[in-house]
A and B are shown apart, each in its own frame.
Chain A
Amino acid sequence: AEKVIQVWSTASRQEGEELTLDCSYETSQVLYHLFWYKHLLSGEMVFLIRQTSSSTAKERSGRYSVVFQKSLKSISLIISALQPDDSGKYFCALWEPIWQISEGYITGNTGKLIFGLGTTLQVQP
């Protein structure tokens, strides 16, 4: 069964520091996709970064980057130069495909995200 594990429920850092958020996963998929989302204090859920299992590129998006260790089934989110606005809850998620089948034929391919429990980050000014 697909599963996402975020061990640390909370983290606290000072402004300007760097933080690594760990995530591990279980999957039977050969090709799979991992995502990081941030749940803002306003309620908004924001997409941060995506990692495809077949990619060896070090994914980056602004101050966000990932360390992907496929053999360990681990993906870490690194946030550099922390700011107080980085406070929030960070979720790691794994894409699970859903095949739509009608009369024995595949009619569609969508999917869902399976989320970890999240890590709440507090950045102190």
Chain B
Amino acid sequence: DMKVTQMPRYLIKRMGENVLLECGQDMSHETMYWYRQDPGLGLQLIYISYDVDSNSEGDIPKGYRVSRKKREHFSLILDSAKTNQTSVYFCASRPGQGPGQLYFGEGSKLTVL
């Protein structure tokens, strides 16, 4: 079954705490993404990963880092979370090269108090 799985789905953290959002896909897709969605801002790209240990900053990478040690797994890390990082985070993946559909996870809603 083609699926992108995000964990956890809901998370509440205090300002300054570390956050780990995890994403897995069972399709052996090379490319994976982390987006965040905020009201009035649409979806914004945080990081893109082309394959294992091949990551690149997206449009809003500040305050985030990523890790991809296995093709099927892509993590988003917030070191010392801030209140303005409260958002819904989406992971996505896609196969091969060129333009095409992204397969999204169900989102992880992070609240930073």
Bound form: Cα–Cα A118–B94 in Å: 22
In contact, A47 and B101 (Cβ under 8 angstroms): yes
**With a CB–CB cut-off of 8 A, which chain B residues contact A39?**
37
* SS of A interface (majority): strand
In contact, B102 and A44 (Cβ under 8 angstroms): no
Residue A108 contacts which of B42, B58, B97 (CB distance < 8 angstroms)? B97
**With a CB–CB cut-off of 8 A, which chain A residues contact B43?**
91, 113, 115
For A50, give the chain B residue with the smallest CB separation.
B101
For A89, give the chain B residue with the smallest CB separation.
B37
**With a CB–CB cut-off of 8 A, which chain A residues contact B99?**
32-33, 95, 97, 111
Is A109 close to B, CB under 8 A? yes
Bound form: Cα–Cα A31–B4 in Å: 29
In contact, B101 and A112 (Cβ under 8 angstroms): no
**With a CB–CB cut-off of 8 A, which chain B residues contact A116?**
42
Bound form: Cα–Cα A35–B101 in Å: 8
Mask, A59-103, CB within 8 Å of B = 1, is 000000000000000000000000000000001000101101000
A-B contacts, 10 listed (Cβ < 8 Å): A4-B42, A42-B106, A43-B109, A97-B98, A98-B56, A108-B97, A110-B94, A113-B43, A113-B102, A117-B41
